[in-house]
Chain A
Amino acid sequence: MLTFAKAKLAVLGIVRRCVALRALNGAQAVRRGFASTERDEKSSTSENELFDIIISGGGMVGTAMACSLGLDPNLAGKKILLLEAGHKKEMDKVPETYSTRVSSISPGSAALLSGLGAWDHIVNMRCKPYNKIQVWDACSDALITFDKENLQDKMAYIVENDVIVAALTKQLQTLSDHVEVQYRTKVVKYTWPHPYHVSESIPWVQVTLANGKTLHTKLLIGADGPNSMVRREAGIPTVKWNYNQSAVVAVLHLSELSDTESSLVWSTSHQHAEELLQLDEESFVDAINSAFWSNENHSELVETAGSLFRTALSVLMPDSGSARQLPPSVAGIGPKSRVVFPLGMGHATEYIRHRVAIIGDAAHRVHPLAGQGANLGFGDVAYLTKVLSQAAFNGKDLGKSMQHLLEFETERQRHNLPMMAAVDLMKRLYSTNAAPLVLLRTFGLQATNALPPFKEQIMAYASK
């Protein structure tokens, strides 16, 4: 059965809000296999092997974390290492073709990136700010619009993931005296220390690499994506489920985004996603257009109820609702730009253990419909840096004192969980054609659209 979850929410094209899961990045990073031989671990730690912080995973969030720690004045003099299984992502010149994987960067994340000095690089490469979000429902005429009052302020930015990573990598190079980076380095094993002091045992986390070397660290930060090895090996229980959906990602040609191109994320069933992938380009374009414009899911009942409700609302609040924009029409797609990846939700019940912390998709994985995945990760980066900076200024052992790590976990879980619950709820609500739920969401959408203060609250929360 076709599900038009993505079409219903229609956050693409004119909406300018396309999100790709960084799951793909992380999954690829972990999936490289090497044979490894382990050397015997030395019982004494030599100075050049002991790091203060090791960050495992050099995606957007891992690299941002490395930059953030490297720039912090209280952490000057600490030995920091970033391990990344892939190669170094540099971008002297932005390629002509657009990358299919993009993220929506909220103002809060943009502030963090600007503090790291990477935002300037991003702006010079390629990014697209947008001012307005419009969400259509496929089963009725209800829609909701988010925009800033005067359409002058930017609501958020669409940036390609590759551009973000390249900008952060460039910034990281300027910090090479503080932060060391090892590319093409895969970790095969983690060994955890005892939480209490046991004599004759090594009190640090031991990271065994594919080339046989063992590194020691006082704090391990896991930023290795939704299939995080750090999280798995630490035995952190995770609440997760797979949506029976895959996302089809493509680059579209409209007359919008950068004047020619736009980004598509179409969440639909696995079977449909596979079919879409197999279609030739013309048929694919037709499929997209019909998804936007078709009325086949509209029912009489819902349409009547919806228009009645809208009339009622316009009586109560005559100023509500802004200009209604029609869904876009797709002219063509970028060549060879279609990719499919599965969607799921995951949340680690703990973000920390003794000498370990996990951030980004390793800790929380969301459906891309609200474009929050990257932003939650950047929020983790900002807060963890703050907590570690304060701990270092108090002379604490960065990994041992659970007190400051717990503070990070509590604060971020308080922020992340409501967001993830809301996204999951939205996903479930919009995955159905059943009349009662359609009515519910029709009314809900129209009512929310009529209440500017409520919409502002939503936007403020999502912008953090």
Chain B
Amino acid sequence: MYSKKLARLAFGVLAESTFKCPLTRSVSSRVNAARSLCSWTLCLHHRQKNQLSEGFSRRLTRLNVRTVSQTTVDPAEVRKFQAMASKWWDLQGDFAALHSMNDLRVPFIRDNLLNMHGIQQLGKPLAGLRILDVGCGGGVLSEPLGRLGTDVLGIDPVEDSVRTAELHSSYDPDLRERVRYQACTLEELAEEEAEGFHAVVASEVVEHLADLDAFASCCQQVLKPGGSLFITTINKTNLSYVFGIVAAEQLLRIVPSGTHDWEKFISPEDLERLLESFGFYVEAIRGMMYNPLTGAWSWQQNTAINYALHAIKCKEEPQPGQVWAESENLDKPGRATNYS
């Protein structure tokens, strides 16, 4: 593994394919197609590089792979992604960093849910909880959560990834019962499953969305009151550009290039503000760091590059422009925010 990484560093062997997948969200006007951007993680949603007017930015479009392939999707991208779809479970392959990130995100999700709900059953600590994994890809995160006893629904717009995920989990009878996958988007699901989940996990997903407002609104719809939202993503700093894009993609070739757009990264403060405007209370933000030599992730104080965030849906719905008090569950002082 080390020699492989050194070889990459020394000779710059690059995996050409990118993980652009058809995406449907409306696009902001500030698309920068000139920069070749890459990131630590693999993307499932990717906004279009075309310049669209700002009028689209608020419209929620339904994404269905079949319709997308006829309208907004570049067939070349879809083909590339289909080729990659089988590589999700190669532990030494391009998705290795995502697999090793499970060492951080699974305990993060598990411990926060245990704090709120308590241990349900020995051996299956999270039994009885329903979790939605947005942008599940090949099911890398859905499977460990399923093994901990939760009922997981993994959604992803790319059908091949969903099929790979289904195939992989079909061998294990434990997972077959508890982990389900669906090829659809969050908006489609939000209409069917209002207030159906104890937790929503969106790991390495928000940096690929164009319309975060729509995302936050849908999360708010599908979560039960008091439910948890877990997000891991990349900060928008100079450091994240240097390490997350230049080093990760061009120098070390840990992830394929063109996966991410630095413009789409969001800082924890902005994300917190956004979530609060949709009725969430942000309970924890922690920095994460990837060590390319060992291939392992670790927690750190600094959120400059990668970070994880845990937010809780407040029990009372706030009205925009109003002051609200925190949910009675939480012992935090109430905060007042005005939105115009």
Contacts and interface: CB of A to CB of B under 8 A. Distances in A.
A76 B106 CA distance: 19
B110 interface: yes
A395 B123 contact: no
Contacts of B90: 196-197
B171 A396 contact: no
B107 A75 contact: no
Contact of A392 (B103, B123, B143): B123
B89 A197 contact: yes
Interface string B140-165: 00011111100000000000000000
Contact of B148 (A50, A197, A202, A395): A395
A78 B143 CA distance: 16
Contacts of B121: 76-77
Interface residues of A, number: 23
B333 interface: no
Contact of A76 (B123, B171, B173): B123
A199 interface: yes
| Chain B interface mostly | helix
B171 A394 contact: no
B167 A199 contact: yes
B194 interface: no
A204 B143 CA distance: 16
B173 A50 contact: yes
B167 A77 contact: no
B125 A393 contact: yes
A275 interface: no
Interface in A73-98: 73-78
A40 interface: no
Given A196-B91, A396-B147, A75 B123 contact: yes
Nearest to B119: A73
Contacts of B106: 394-395
Nearest to A73: B122
Contacts of B103: 394, 403
Given A197-B168, A202-B171, A74 B148 contact: no
Contacts of A45: 171, 173
Interface in A179-201: 196-197, 199
Contacts of B124: 77
A197 B95 CA distance: 14
B144 A76 contact: no
A395 B110 contact: yes
A334 interface: no
Residue of B90, B143, B145, B173 with most chain A CB atoms under a 10 A cut-off? B173
A395 B168 contact: no
Interface in A200-218: 202-204, 218
Interface in B89-148: 89-91, 102-103, 106-107, 110, 121-125, 143-148
A203 B175 CA distance: 14
B144 A395 contact: yes
Given A196-B89, A196-B91, A74 B123 contact: yes
A197 B90 CA distance: 7
Contact of B173 (A47, A73, A202): A47
Contacts of A47: 173
Contact of A77 (B102, B110, B122, B146): B122
**In the A-B complex, the 3 residue pairs with the closest CB atoms:** A395-B144, A76-B123, A77-B123
Interface of A: 45, 47, 50, 73-78, 196-197, 199, 202-204, 218, 392-397, 403
26 contacts: A45-B171, A73-B123, A74-B122, A74-B123, A75-B123, A77-B121, A77-B122, A77-B124, A196-B89, A196-B91, A202-B171, A203-B171, A393-B110, A394-B103, A394-B106, A394-B107, A394-B144, A395-B110, A395-B143, A395-B145, A395-B146, A395-B147, A395-B148, A396-B144, A397-B143, A397-B147
